[in-house]
A and B are shown apart, each in its own frame.
Chain A
Amino acid sequence: MIRSNSTLLLSLLIASLGLFGSSSWLPAAETLDESVVKAEAERVKIMAGASRCGVSIFADGGTNGGSGVLISADGYALTNFHVTKPCGDWMKCGLSDGSLHNAVIVGYDPVGDVALIKLMGRTDFPFAPLADSDKVVVGEWVFCVGNPFLLADDFQPTITYGIVSGVHRYQYPAGTLLEYADCIQTDAAINPGNSGGPLFNMRGEVIGINGRGSFEKRGRVNVGVGYAISINQIKHFMGALKAGRIVDHATLGATVASSDDGRVLVSDILEDSDAYRRGLRYGDEVVEFGGRPISTVNAFKNALGIFPRDWATSLTYRREGKKQSIWVRLTGVHGAEELLQKVLGRPQPQPGQPQPDDHPQPEGEPKKQPAPPKQPPTKGPAAAKKAPMPDEVKPFFEARRGYANFHFNKANRTRVYNALVARGDFAALKGTWKLTGDVVPAGEATFEIADDFVNTSLPGGELKLNVTKELNDAVEPRGSGGLLAALHAWRRLLTAGPEKFGDLVYLGMLPVADESRGPVDVLKGAYAGVETFFFVESESGRLLKVALYLSPDDDPCELLWSDYAEYQGRLLPRTLKVRYGDLIFGVYRFRELTLATGGQ
């Protein structure tokens, strides 16, 4: 290495001394260090590969647009919500090979400014792998693939190159819905039109989605400070995005502030929050959240801002010198209706018209750019009318209030349910289900579950729940949070199926209980006035947990099923642990499961 560099220097020196005559003082190309040539060739290769995964997104008419990146062979692509918003339910996407594809909106996260779309027409799209963005370090070389100023008439993306300037950056909401938490800062040029495009590491993996810059007084062009939404944050939202949802971000139900001595203390807490029920109180010092040490308010906001609503994670607090770790369920920042109002409340902007204030000034969508040289001509009001949805797109779109695209929700609901019944169909078993077994550590337990009642015989006595009306008061047995109602919901899901359960939707992927296992698919059902979450490990077809909420402000009754085994031709759990809040209500080992068909 030193040797070859010395050779280079030597030739430089000799050349500059004029020993090679006056023709040239530059080193000839062949004197370049082999490693330099190799590194450049490698870089060219990686950027070429990344370019193929880049997507140029155009709103109808091509007057609006941005960038995106393909992340699967079947055409899923990530971009910014503020890019897809003016496009509506579908859009045109160009790839670097010059092909133009229809794409449909799948889901979006309006707070985090992320949207998932799906391109049509191929099942073998080139796609980019996703990195572990927590491993990104400052000084690392990175590059953007995108369509700044909508330059790419031939959809050949533009590459901009730079380094990571900062990680775990928190960018305050600019008076809007948008909040960029835990983002990656880069000096690679991010200009209007780059929005939604990927930020790549030098292994060709996506580390983030470019979305925002610090612009302020210099107009809306790059000032060397761009921000990318970390891909790890997007991974947390991916399940919910694929669910066709309009996903909200999470809140702890508590706020924190710095104390004079620099500690992060709980400055306010809602008494109906899960964190409060788990023991967190005003004045407690938050020392860890979501597996990250918390030393500043920004660190807490970063750790929280990467999670969707309904996520659950660990929190460690310190009170009077003693540390305590809890597992907390997070709720939505907004009410469901509130979020919709903020996202959809105002009339959709016409392309070419000024945007509503919904968007922060400092982001890069091309409308407010100071007249780039190759901007497509602005269409008149007639041309601004949205063309009808192409036939190719129609089968992949279903409108439903509260959803970006309910088609994808139904598709995933079917997928998860099919996984659940892949090793045992329960549709015919509409009779009484009888579970008999032992209470751990001692005693006998029997549960009889039917369409209209649930009976139980436990060491404490016998109980019966009639399921004829709303279940909100079905707290039986006392201290269980609604065990009988939860068992009813469990049987109902398996026998009634997704269509007849009630209102059953696919929620996405959420953690089950602790960090020992990754997130699993979750179905959420509503019937008889209660909400039930079903946690399904789709690969194995196991239902891991049923969580029934008699009231949204109370702990759920959780049925934790385990010891799955083949039983009379079906995969069934043999152990049930019932938890209510921090208490284990009971553990049951079943010897006999009788699932009767028809009548009673």
Chain B
Amino acid sequence: MRSVVTLVVLLALVTPLTAAPLTSVIPQVQPKQVKIYGAGGYRGLEAYQSGSLISATGHVLTVWSYVLDTDFITVTLHDGRKFEGKLLAADPRLDIAVLKIEAQNLPHFELAKAPLVEAGTRVLAFSNLYGVATGDEPVSVQRGVISVRSRLHARRGVYETPFKGQAYILDAMTNNPGAAGGALTDYDGRLLGILGKELRNSQNNTWLNYAIPIPEAAKTIEDIVAGKYVNVPTEDVASKPKQPLSLELLGIQLVPDVLPRTPPYIDRIMPGSPAASTGLRPDDLVLFINGRLTAACATVRTELEYIDRIDPVSVTVLRNQELIDVQLRASADANP
């Protein structure tokens, strides 16, 4: 019996029983939320999303999306201060990204303390859904329950997402336009997950509300914050090889580069080329070259310039919300 009592005491320690009312928890959490403004703003693509501060020095956890696909990301804090957000890195497999703003002493979530919780947990969702809040206005908060923790059985047309891990499925209408990147917390305001994008089943027009559990992504996030995981193009680094790789050597032709940041869609694959044998196809979007993000046609070309033509290269493309990795090597007879 004594051991049971001890167990109860232990349990009582891990699950606080005297919960503070939501009205006092929520104002503690809202300042840890930011509003993110970037690319978009046309054809139903909102130019904003949400984010959560995960360090006192301005690391912002959000989802990886087209909104971040610009050189001008604005991050607005709860007090209305605006900062330029710099994309540190993104992991499209987890669908997350980390931004950095130059600020100090910010209220933030403790990433390391984020527990993995089970179905039935009562949760709060904080986000700037529909861009309702601007400037110093607090973000919106909704309440709900984790219905299940499960993998998303995404497939073409049905809840398409590249995220393949365990997700929290929510019973609340959280995943609205602009909500992606918001925080899922428990009733004590502890970070549990990051709200995912809008997810629609085009067959029955239903929408799924989900969040990515922090433990699923914590390692990557920590690596990004620590600077160990960098995949955005950097201007520094190594000298270029004398004989670099090129798209032509791989047999890939991208769409005409007409915009400042033309998305690097494959236009043609040359018959008989290395690319042809790997199964790359027209309309594939080139996301990574050797693990580095390639947001534009120009970036793809630049990245290849740093790779020697004798070395293999890994290319990651997005096809119907599916990430596909291929290994390529310039064909020997392509050498002059």
Point out residues on A near B: beta carbons under 8 Å. 1-2, 5-6, 9-10, 13-14, 17, 137-141, 162-163, 165-166, 168-169, 185, 187, 214, 216-219, 222-225, 258, 262, 295-296, 298
Which of the four size classes fits the interface of chain B?
35 or more
- B23–A137 CB distance below 8 A: yes
Whether B140 is near chain A, meaning CB under 8 Å from some CB there, is yes
A-binding segment of B89-97, B109-117, B127-135, B158-166: B127-135
* Contact residue among B11, B18, B30, B172 (Cβ-Cβ distance under 8 Å from A187): B172
Point out residues on B near A: beta carbons under 8 Å. 4-5, 7-8, 11-12, 17-18, 21-27, 30, 44, 80, 129-130, 132-143, 172-174, 176-177, 205, 207
- A13–B176 CB distance below 8 A: no
Q: Which residues of B contact A223 (CB under 8 A)?
A: 173, 176
- B141–A138 CB distance below 8 A: yes
- B135–A298 CB distance below 8 A: yes
Known contacts A10-B4, A214-B129, A216-B130, then 4 further A-B pairs from the complex at CB < 8 Å, ordered by chain A residue: A9-B17, A13-B11, A166-B138, A225-B129
- A225–B130 CB distance below 8 A: yes
User: How far, in angstroms, from A166 to B130 measured CA to CA in the complex?
Assistant: 13
- A166–B133 CB distance below 8 A: yes
Closest CB of chain A to B289's CB: distance in Å? 34
- B12–A296 CB distance below 8 A: no
Given contacts A138-B27, A169-B132, contact A217 B44 (CB under 8 A): yes
Closest CB of chain A to B277's CB: distance in Å? 41
- B176–A225 CB distance below 8 A: yes
Closest CB of chain B to A86's CB: distance in Å? 27
Q: Which residues of A contact B129 (CB under 8 A)?
A: 214, 224-225
Across the interface, name the chain B residue whose C-beta is closest to A296.
Answer: B135
* Contact residue among B30, B80, B172 (Cβ-Cβ distance under 8 Å from A224): B172
Q: Which residues of A contact B135 (CB under 8 A)?
A: 258, 262, 295-296, 298
- B132–A139 CB distance below 8 A: no
Q: List 8 A-B contacts (CB under 8 A).
A: A137-B23, A138-B26, A139-B24, A166-B133, A187-B173, A216-B130, A217-B177, A225-B132
- A225–B140 CB distance below 8 A: yes
Interface of A is mostly: mixed
Q: Which residues of B contact A217 (CB under 8 A)?
A: 44, 177
Closest CB of chain A to B172's CB: distance in Å? 6
Closest CB of chain A to B10's CB: distance in Å? 11
Q: Which residues of B contact A168 (CB under 8 A)?
A: 137
- A139–B12 CB distance below 8 A: no
- A138–B23 CB distance below 8 A: yes
Given contacts A165-B140, A169-B132, A296-B134, contact A139 B22 (CB under 8 A): yes
Closest CB of chain A to B159's CB: distance in Å? 15
- A166–B27 CB distance below 8 A: no
Q: Which residues of B contact A139 (CB under 8 A)?
A: 21-27, 141
Given contacts A214-B176, A296-B135, contact A14 B142 (CB under 8 A): no
User: How far, in angstroms, from A363 to B269 measured CA to CA in the complex?
Assistant: 49
- A224–B132 CB distance below 8 A: no
